[in-house]
Amino acid sequence: MNVLILGSGGRENAIAWKLKQSTLVKNIFVAPGNAGTDLIATNLSLGVNNFDKIAEAIKIENIDMLVVGPEDPLVNGITDYFRSKSDFSNLKIIGPSKKAAQLEGSKNFAKKFMHKYKIPTARYFTAKKENINEAVEFIKSLKPPYVLKADGLAAGKGVLIIEEYDTAVSELNNMLSGKFGEASKKVVIEEFLDGEELSIFAVTDGKNYVLLPEAKDYKRIGENNTGLNTGGMGAVSPVSFFNNEFKNKVIEKIVKPTIFGLESENMDYVGFVFIGLINVNGEPYVIEYNVRMGDPETEVVLLRLKTDFAKILVAAYSKTLQNIKVVFKNDAAATIMLVSGGYPEDYEKNKEILGLDYQGESVLFHAGTKKEGDKILTNGGRVLAVSSLGKDMICALTQSYKTIEKISFDKMNYRHDIGFEIK
Ligand code: AMP
Ligand code: GLY
């Protein structure tokens, strides 16, 4: 089978790395990819939203399976695009339909879905310019801090958590007036939930599902979870509080009703369901749905996965997931992101990365990197996901930090405290 993976981050490098271990997979292409995917696959210089060009490449390279990494093309309807063309009726697309991708593309849609299928989540109100007075009344009914979320995709920046009532009301007005463009024409206001977060990942065929290992990511730029939100500065798996009791609650109260909801709504869902959860005094609540894998969560999840990943994806496409048993390693996995100085605000690119020859026991998944001549240069905010397995979390973390000592580039930054609460 020939596979095309769309995207250019650590997630896509990890997916390519894992699929390369499968006996079912012959050739792997990544579009547009990065310097890391270039080492193990063939990069194609195509934008992830350029469906016509992607279709041409699929024909030229005889692609059998298309794995969509990021959310954008899914929300833009890439799956419907290929399903509507008879030439591509045999293409195994891993990614939900445009309608189902609204679970990530619209917070309001996701909240309504959770409400309908009685899935535990924070109390909410969807504000629009027309109902601003009711929205303000809803804010008044909440205890601070106040959570304001742009309805649409806002590159991870659309959620504000605000301490002061007055600021919450003025920010609500700013958002409705276009602070995040079209994405904040509607704003979901939520009660604040206090607890520890984790992410779980299901692969579904729209009816059956299998769970991949759980993970936790570290979103803030600064140590002790301070400073601005980022795409993710590191990830660990397993997560200690995801014990059998909590896991059973998650499955019964969240995963099963979610899959039931997808089926009941005829969502045509073949792909990943990423559920961001929060543990409030032992009870799980959904913070958000994503319709793709997480980054950097994928890096730790796939390091721990024993089962042939391509077999899982083929079973999802052929709607036979009930026959698949997913096995993961008992080892712990830890990923530390090396980022460009200044990220998540302005940063410089094109810095030469040194020390990439040494991997030790780690796997280096590339994110924002590119090859120029015989050099590898930085090409984004998040640059490298240094990932390791260990017999326990301390070993996995120690290994990743040991590998990082050998790697350098100008203004390289990373968090020294990933997994701090576990140590
Ligand atoms: P989201 O994009 O919905 O995942 O939100 C981004 C981050 O904001 C989450 O990972 C949480 O850390 C935080 N957050 C979102 N909603 C809530 C909530 N209702 N209560 C507390 N924290 C939240
Ligand atoms: N790491 C969070 C995400 O991929 O959305």
> Ligand 1 centroid to 262 CA: how many Å?
23
Instruction: Please provide the distance, in angstroms rounded to a whole number, between the alpha carbons at the two ends of the chain.
Output: 42
Beta bridge partners of 108: none
| Ordered DSSP codes for 98-124 | HHHHHHHH-HHHHHHHHHHTT--B--E
Q: How far is the CA of 203 from the centre of ligand 2 (A)?
A: 16
CB of 81 within 6 A of ligand 1: the answer is no
Give domain status of residue 384, yes or no: no
Are both 89 and 131 inside the same structural domain?
Answer: no
Residue 127, domain CATH? 3.30.1490.20
- Same domain? For 138 and 85 the reply is no
Q: How far does residue 140's CA lie from ligand 2's centre (Å)?
A: 31
Residue 173 has, within 13 A of its CA and on its CB side, a CA count of 7
- Taking the C-alpha atoms of residue 381 and residue 367, their distance in angstroms, rounded to an integer, is 9
Radius of gyration of the chain from its Cα atoms, rounded to whole angstroms: 21
Ligand nearest to the CA of 69: 2
Q: Using DSSP, state whether 79 is helix, strand or coil.
A: helix
Which of 201, 290, 301, 336 to mutate for ligand 2's pocket (most ligand atoms within 8 Å of CB)? 290
- Tokens 């995709």, residue located: 153
| DSSP designation for 329 | -
Model confidence over 18-61: pLDDT tens digits?
A: 999 999 999 999 999 999 999 999 999 999 999 999 999 999 99
Q: How far is CA 282 from the centre of its chain?
A: 24
Choose one of 190, 205, 238: the last residue of a domain. Answer: 190
Residue 24 domain-assigned? yes
214 Cα: distance to centroid of ligand 2 (angstroms) = 13
Helix (H/G/I), strand (E/B), else coil: 36 = helix
Ligand nearest to the CA of 197: 1
pLDDT on residue 229? 87
pTM above 0.85, yes or no: yes
CA of 383 to the centre of ligand 2 (A): 15
For the chain, helix, strand, coil in percent to 5 are 35, 30, 40
Q: Is residue 299 part of a domain?
A: no
Question: Is 273 among the domain residues?
Answer: no
pLDDT at 255: 98
Residue 127, helix vs strand vs coil? strand
User: For residue 156, which ligand has an atom nearest its CA?
Assistant: 1
Mean pLDDT score across all residues of the chain: 96
Q: Residue with the nearest Cα to atom 3 of ligand 2? A: 294
Ligand at minimal distance from the CA of 148 is 1
Ligand 2 centroid distance, CA of 116 (Å): 25
- In Å, how far from its chain's centre is CA 401? 23
Q: Tell how far the Cα of 277 is from the centroid of ligand 2, in angstroms.
A: 12
Pocket test for ligand 2, best of 274, 275, 302, 418 (most atoms within 8 A of CB): 274
Q: Is residue 388 part of a domain?
A: no
The verdict on 127 and 85 lying in the same domain is: no
Phi, psi (5° rounding) for residue 113? -60, -50
- Low-confidence spans in the chain with pLDDT less than 50: none
Write out the two tokens for 180.
Answer: 């995040």
Bridge pairing between strands 92-94 and 124-127:
unpaired
Specify the pLDDT at position 108: 97
Number of structural domains found in the chain: 2
* Domain around 58: 2-94
Are 90 and 137 in a shared domain?
no
Largest CA distance in the chain: 61
Residue 24 belongs to domain with CATH number: 3.40.50.20
Q: Whose CA is nearest to atom 4 of ligand 2?
A: 294
**90 in a structural domain:** yes
Atom of ligand 2 nearest to the CA of 292: 4
**Predicted local confidence at residue 6, as pLDDT:** 98
Among 54, 76, 94, residue at a domain's last position: 94
Structure tokens at 41: 């696959």
